[in-house]
Amino acid sequence: MVVMILEKVPVSLRGKLTRWLIEPHTGLFIGHVSALVRDQLWENCVNAKGTGGVVQIWSTNNEQHFAMRMSGDTKRGIEESEGLQLIRIRG
């Protein structure tokens, strides 16, 4: 499973994601795609986000059972601590 959260990105980018994922809430996309498609969606979002931000979270085989990455202007950031990915609220 993959989850993508888009903040302040062009509307056209959101439209492109709806080809692969569903959008149950504005800027929130969920679906099940291969790792190759997941990485290609990430690259497309990073390149087209403009001044906005992108968060991607996906299922994987680790302690937390998920991994995540962020790019651009997001309200939160990822901090690694003892092998865990934690969220830091930027203030």
The pLDDT tens digits for 3-15 are: 999 999 999 999 9
Tell me the H-state helices in 1-91. 11-17, 35-48
Residue 62's domain comprises 2-89
Whole-Å CA distances, 14 to 40, 43, 57, 64, 86: 15, 14, 17, 28, 26
Domains in the chain: how many in total?
1
pTM above 0.95, yes or no: no
Domain containing residue 14: CATH number? 3.30.70.240
pLDDT in tens, 26-75: 999 999 999 999 999 999 999 999 999 999 999 999 999 999 999 998 88
CB 38 within 8 A of CB 68: no
